[in-house]
Structure 1
Amino acid sequence: MISLVWIAGPLSGLIMQPVVGVISDRSRNRWGRRRPFMVGGTVLVSLFLLLLGWTKEVVQMFFKDKDTVRNGTIVLAVFSIYGIDFAINAVQGSCRGLIVDTLPIPKQQLGSSWASRMVAVGSLVGYGAGAIDLGKAFGPLLGDSQFKQLTAVAALSLCLTVGITSWAVTERVLISDGLEGQDNLGPLYVLKTIIKSAMHLPPGIRAICHVQFWAWIGWFPFLFYSTTWVGEIYLRYDAPAEAKVEDDLTGKIGRIGSMALIAFSIITFIMSVILPFFVRNPEDETRRGFTPRPPQRIASFVTDIEKYKPSLLSMWMISHCIFAASMVMAPFVQSLRSATIIVAACGISWAVSCWAPFTFLGVEINRLSQSSPSYGHLTRASIELESPLQVHNHGTEDASDATGESSGKYLGIMNLYTTLPQFVGTAISWVVFSLLEPGKSPELSKEGDASERHSTEGPNAIGVCLFIGAICAGGAAVATRRLKRLQNY
């Protein structure tokens, strides 16, 4: 049943972000193209989060039999997690699309770096909320258990942050001239658009997607299994004998591993704040001979600093190498301290991975908009609204590219290249676990019967998965180098 839950994330990403991207690109809602999906998705996520926290109570409203309540609780919990995953993808895709839509090319790096910082802050808040006793902080106000209160805090936080964004950001409204094809948003049209766009991507966007594909084969085992891996390293090499016979070994592994992820999140946050100041903007790379004029007193110092700033593309390539170098060591680690250090070091790479691909995609989408010819005349609808914040679609097949309207579509397609590697990573993990740990993991085998118990002297299966991910991260570094040659960043 757990396997049904694991597949929810990649499955929802594979379906929702491209579909929502295509539909929101063509939306003519008076509140904007992205905002309705952000708000609607947030409401659904919050409801499913609360349903997940109070699943048992909801089932008990309809059934009294103990076994029926237990089975119904499991089914409703899995349903809630699927609902959360599908709805949150609509929110994520719309938020990223909003950055691309509202910022000019010179601001794309700044916008994406701030998004990376907020991801890091959210991770810290989430891990912190899980680590403290929320019952003492809130009392019974948000529920009678830690998990209920955690789901309530998550729902309230999401509503608050999306509400602030929706209020603060002025979004462009798509204006239709009523030509044929404007309202054709049926399932076949959406599917056809996604397939056609994915098969005929502009060269720059295709190269970015290839980098994402290789990088995420490496990131998948890290994000899914690093907590367990750190805990297993502790039990295998550092834990005292009495710790290995506790009733809740699984819980102990989770708590030990979470400390490593807190260190990972702290490094991610620090790097997401610091690195943007020491990296050149991709747009500056294309404006040869242009140098911003600083105050005369510091002009020479600033000029010298600018000479040695790496480009964002070089930083992205370096981040793949850092991740690969860290994960190559995974099968050979023999202490909790070493495991925590290499997990924390990956925070440098994660900060760049939450920032660089979206910056380059935003730059490429805006370049497509600027390089395309302008179309037609102002429509009656646009004249009546007299708003400078409008996007005009004139019914031609390429009009969406011409107006920069395709950000949702291209973000959704890039998410396909982020999601498909998760299926590849799942297959790799299944093969490795089947070969090296066909029963329970050796560290947890004492919880099972004698037939499941085996030695901890062999290689750790998760460490091998992380090693394979490191090789794929090397492939991402090579793909980034190809992108550099293609675009001359």
Structure 2
Amino acid sequence: MPSVSSWTGTPSIKGSSESMRMALLTVSLIGLQFTWGIEMTYCTPYLLQLGLTKSKISLVWIAGPLSGLIMQPIVGVIADRSKSKWGRRRPFMVGGTIVVSACLLVLGWTREIVGMFVTDKEMKKSATISLAVLSIYAVDFAINAVQASCRSLIVDTLPIPKQQLGSSWASRMVAVGHLIGYGAGALDLGKIFGPMLGDSQFKQLTAVAAIALCVTVGVTCWAVTERVLILDGKDAQGEIGAIETVSQILKTALSLPPRIAAICFVQFWAWIGWFPFLFYSTTWVGEIYLRYDAPAAAQESEDTLGQVGRIGSLSLIAFSTITFAGSVMLPWVVKSPDDEKTNFTPRPPASIAPIVIEAEKRKPSLLIAWMISHCIFAGCMVFAPFVKSLRAATVLVAICGISWAITCWAPFTFMGVEINKLGAAGANGHAYHHANRDSIELDAASPVLRLNHFPDESHASTGEGSGIYLGILNLYTTLPQFVGTFISWIVFSILEPGKSPELAKEAHPDEHHSTDGPNGIAVCLFIGALSAVVAAFATNRLKYIN
């Protein structure tokens, strides 16, 4: 007889209303996305200012996909088997947050730290670049551990009917994190905080990001109580080592259920497009401004990093505002995957019944919405090489907020549903055992969401394999980033082989490079648009897979 899993306790979320509970469950994603936003907005122009070429910076950004490729599935496997009394996910969230916060501060104060040990001018430049790159790698590796745990916590805690709601709330929090991050970047923080958090915009942003991540992750860890794993069904095999962990990941990745494999395939093509957008769009908008719209005084400014950051942040504020609005409104007009397979019929008052029923029939499925989102992104980015004004660049970036709202929501909803269906099927087949089946219940004695007896096993929340399956989904998010990095390296090497003429003045004042010719980032965005078209076709194919 197969080994079985056993647990103690039930998942619970503090809060007196469903909205409050969902907010507390997903609030950690605000700090997480704020940190990602600061890295994506400021680190590219920061490294350009230090004197790196765009082709070399494209190689630096291998940190993102490499860390996701390694950390998320490994943390997922280890956390899936964790028997910590604090739960499977929260210890990794807390530990990763501490590392991220420390590395953010090192990144912000790189010059000062290097200056304490190195005095030679040329060696100091090289050491500053090296420490900045190492700090970015450390941030990326640690934050991927936090992100894997935050996403798995949502899948673990919510039953199947609530997976779309949880994912849509996660999308909202991601949008809020983006909005706060880009809003902070657009402000002159020196006038707000003075020298308290540092003497430059970049230092202050890294400090604020570290504080925000600690606070939001702390709130989620306080609000959510996890089940504690007692026996995971694999204890007879003993503790698994590194080789066994990697073997388990590869074995699972090569034998994915058909629908999960199809979701991952869509994610692969979509992220070839999203990678250059997320990492380079701020710099692209700032360079468009400096090339075509900036007055002469602005072009000669000593604070070009601050200018590019603020101009780029303003465009991404528009992007994040639309993302947030979409993540709030779209779930109301899009069918949940769970609703698509039921015969639910709304029973509104007779006076408005025909209108409500007709509107319900005309709701698009989440699958259709996901496909349309790829088309919107492709339709915007295909025009990137032809943009010659700040206004046009800002409009294109802002419209992509619609696509990003669905991208942060759809794949995780589909994965959450499929993972819990696998868990329910396994429970019915006695692959593992649960003392209680799950439902949502508000404890009358305290405002806490508890998951208890659910009469319908198909709606049970199990989440046994959420760590490894979401880790594999992240593999299909990070592998295309290697492809995107390679494409970016080729494009920048051909079109812009020199140092940035706008941003390298401080580190290399004697070097001058022409701003004529096509913008390399715009070409990368155009190639991403073509990849999004492939993702749209792959999404349409998903509806034919059972």
- State the TM-score, normalized to the length of structure 1: 0.87
2:393 pairs with one of 318, 324, 339: 339
Matched ranges for 1:253-272 at <5 A: 253-272=308-327
* 2:247 corresponds to 1:188: no
Determine the C-alpha separation between the residues in 1 that align with 2:170 and 2:232: 34
Pick aligned residue for 2:537 from 474, 478, 481: 478
Instruction: Look up the match of 2:99.
Output: 44
The match for 1:412 is 471
- Alpha-carbon spacing, 1:61–1:438, altered in 2? closer, same or farther (3 Å): closer
How far is the alpha carbon of 1:434 from its aligned partner? 2.7
Q: Which residues of 2 match residues 343-382 of structure 1 at below 5 A?
A: 343-372=397-426, 373-375=429-431
Partner of 1:468: 527
Looking at structure 1, the residues matched to 432 and 378 of structure 2 have their Cα atoms a distance apart, in angstroms, of 50
Whether 2:202 is the aligned partner of 1:147: answer yes
Measured in 2, the distance between the counterparts of 1:250 and 1:133 equals 13
Structure number having the greater helix percentage:
1
Q: Does 1:308 align with 2:366?
A: no
8 Å Cα contact 1:445/1:454 also seen in 2: no
Which residue type is aligned with residue 375 of structure 2? Answer: C
Paired residue type of 2:356:
V
Instruction: Give the structure 1 partner of residue 380 of structure 2.
Output: 326
- Specify the alignment match of 1:398 in structure 2: none
SS at match of 2:230: strand
- Deviations 1:111-157 (CA, angstroms, capped at 9, x unpaired): 00100100111111112222223343334443444333322221121
The 1-side partners of 2:289 and 2:111 are apart by: 34
Q: Following TM superposition, by how much is the alpha carbon of 1:439 offset from its aligned partner in structure 2, in angstroms?
A: 3.1
Q: Deviations over 1:5-28 (max 9, x none)?
A: 422211111110010011111111
What CA distance in whole angstroms lies between the structure 2 residues aligned with 1:409 and 1:430? 31
Aligned positions of 1:124-273 closer than 5 A: 124-176=179-231, 180-241=235-296, 243-247=298-302, 249=304, 251-273=306-328
Superposed displacement of residue 486, structure 1: 1.1
Q: CA deviation at 1:60?
A: 5.3
Summarize the Cα distance change of 1:55–1:247 in structure 2 as closer, same or farther, 3 Å threshold: closer
Displacement of 1:445 in angstroms is 10
Q: Secondary structure at the match of 1:27?
A: coil
Match of 1:426 in 2: 485
2:175/2:320 contact within 8 Å kept: yes
SS at match of 2:543: helix
Aligned-pair distance for 1:183?
3.6
Q: What secondary structure is seen at the aligned counterpart in 1 of 2:152?
A: helix
CA contact (8 A) 1:234 1:335 kept: yes
Q: Aligned partners of 2:180 and 2:165: how far apart in 1?
A: 23
Query: Take 2:286 and 2:312, find their aligned partners in 1: how far apart are those partners?
Result: 5
Deviates further, 239-248 or 99-108: 239-248
Instruction: Quote how far apart the aligned CAs of 1:240 are.
Output: 4.0
Letter paired with 1:437: E
Question: Does the C-alpha gap of structure 1 residues 230 and 147 become closer, same or farther in structure 2, counting only changes over 3 Å?
Answer: closer
Give unpaired runs (5+ residues) of structure 1.
380-387, 391-401
Matches within 5 A, 1:7-18: 7-18=62-73
Identity level (%): 69
| Corresponding residue SS for 2:225 | coil
Q: 1:84 to 1:450 in 2, by over 3 A?
A: closer
Q: One-letter code of the match for 1:275?
A: L
SS at structure 2 position matched to 1:485: coil
Q: What CA distance in whole angstroms lies between the structure 1 residues aligned with 2:392 and 2:194?
A: 38
Q: Judging changes above 3 Å, is the alpha-carbon distance between structure 1 residues 234 and 142 closer, same or farther for their aligned structure 2 residues? A: closer
TM-superposed CA distance for 1:404, in Å, is 3.6
Distance 1:463 1:62, change over 3 A: closer
* Matched residues, number: 466
CA contact (8 A) 1:245 1:446 kept: no
Flag the 1:47–1:323 CA change in 2: closer, same or farther, 3 A. same
Determine the C-alpha separation between the residues in 1 that align with 2:502 and 2:197.
36
- Counterpart residue number, 2:3: none
Q: 1:355 offset after TM fit, Å?
A: 0.6
* Counterparts of 1:72 and 1:47, CA distance in 2: 19
Structure 2 portions without partners, runs of 5+: 1-51, 436-449, 453-460
1:438 is aligned to 2:497: yes
Cα distance change, pair 182–120 in 1 and its aligned pair in 2 (3 A): farther
Where relative contact order (Cα < 8 A, 6+ residues apart) is larger, the structure is 2
- Take 2:104 and 2:400, find their aligned partners in 1: how far apart are those partners? 29
Q: Tell me which residue corresponds to 1:382.
A: none
The structure-2 alpha-carbon separation of the partners of 1:185 and 1:446, relative to structure 1 and needing over 3 Å to count, comes to: closer
Residue 336 to residue 122, structure 1, CA distance change in 2 (3 Å): same
8 A Cα contact 2:167 2:410, kept in partner: yes
What is the correspondence of 1:271-286 to structure 2 with a 5 Å cutoff? Answer: 271-286=326-341
Does the Cα contact within 8 Å between 1:35 and 1:166 map onto a contact in 2? yes
Match of residue 395 from structure 1? none
Report how far residue 45 of structure 1 moved. Answer: 1.2
In 1, Cα distance between equivalents of 2:177 and 2:145: 18
Shift of 1:224: 1.7
Aligned to 1:104: 159
* Paired amino acid for 2:430: S
Residues 358-367 or 173-182, more deviating: 173-182
How far apart are the structure 2 equivalents of 1:452 and 1:73? 22
- C-alpha separation in 2, matches of 1:315 and 1:334: 31
**Distance of aligned partners of 1:476 and 1:33 in 2 relative to their CA distance in 1, 3 Å threshold:** same
Deviations 1:298-333 (A, max 9, x none): 433321221111111100000000000011111222
Alignment root-mean-square deviation, CA? 2.9
- Residue 176 of structure 1: SS of its match in structure 2? strand
* Greater Cα offset, 433-442 or 215-224: 433-442
Cα distance in 2 for residues equivalent to 1:148 and 1:339: 27
Answering whether residue 154 of structure 2 is matched by residue 95 of structure 1, we say no
Which 10-residue stretch deviates more, 108-117 or 172-181?
Answer: 172-181
Q: Which segment drifts farther, 434-443 or 217-226?
A: 434-443
**What is the aligned partner in structure 2 of residue 399 from structure 1?**
none
Tell me how far apart the structure 2 counterparts of residues 177 and 11 of structure 1 sit (CA, whole Å).
29
Letter aligned with residue 302 of structure 1: V
Deviates more, 1:233-242 or 1:426-435: 233-242
8 Å Cα contact 1:173-1:389 kept in structure 2: no
Question: Which of 448, 459, 465 matches 2:518?
Answer: 459
State the distance in 1 between where 2:496 and 2:114 align. 36
